[in-house]
Amino acid sequence: MEWVAAYNTHNADAAAALYDVNVTNVQMPYAEPIQGRDGMRATYVSLFRAFPDIHVEVVNLVESDPWVAVEWEFTGTMKGSFAGHPPTHSRFTLRGCELFQVLDGMIHTQRGYWDKATMLGQLRID
């Protein structure tokens, strides 16, 4: 899956290129969605800077056109600022799921389901 490859090579441009220019990405732990391809690119740049070793493993993949569900496990070490917090150099391991709507080969909608409290606890962020 191209999304996983872009994530694991920390390539923000390749990741952003997978999205429609008007994509909406709702990560359930956060109040505000990420809007547009440029917003996605900025998110990836920030994430890869905060977690230079971030890695995703696919646990399950379910496809039913136009939807793709990816159950995943992320790992990483916080070596840069994240969510307004300075680096803690702590590692995290987190499981969750992304739901993608793919139309004409582009991600138009993304929804992420994961436990923010677990991640922040492992990173030692209050």
Per-residue pLDDT 10s for the chain (126 aa) are: 899 999 999 999 999 999 999 999 999 998 899 999 999 999 999 999 999 999 999 999 999 999 999 999 999 999 999 989 999 999 999 999 999 999 999 999 999 999 999 999 999 997
Q: Is 94 exposed, middle or buried (0-12, 13-18, 19+ CB in 10 A)?
A: middle
- 2-122: CATH topology: Nuclear Transport Factor 2; Chain: A, (3.10.450)
The side-by-side arrangement of strands in the sheet containing 34-35 is 34-35, 19-27, 106-114, 91-103, 67-77, 55-64
In this predicted structure, what is the pLDDT of residue 126?
A: 78
Q: What distance in Å separates the CA atoms of residue 105 and residue 108, rounded to the nearest whole number?
A: 9
CA angle centred on 41, ends 2 and 116, rounded to 5°: 85
In this predicted structure, what is the pLDDT of residue 13?
A: 97
Report strand pairing: 106-114 vs 19-27: parallel
CB-CB contact of 40 with 19 (8 Å): yes
Q: Chain centroid to CA 10: how far?
A: 11
| Nearest CA-CA partner of 120 in 73, 80, 79, 88 | 88
Sketch the domain layout of the chain as residue ranges.
2-122
Q: Is 22 exposed, middle or buried (0-12, 13-18, 19+ CB in 10 A)?
A: exposed
| Nearest CA-CA partner of 56 in 66, 70, 68, 38 | 70
- Asked whether the whole model's pTM tops 0.85, one would answer yes
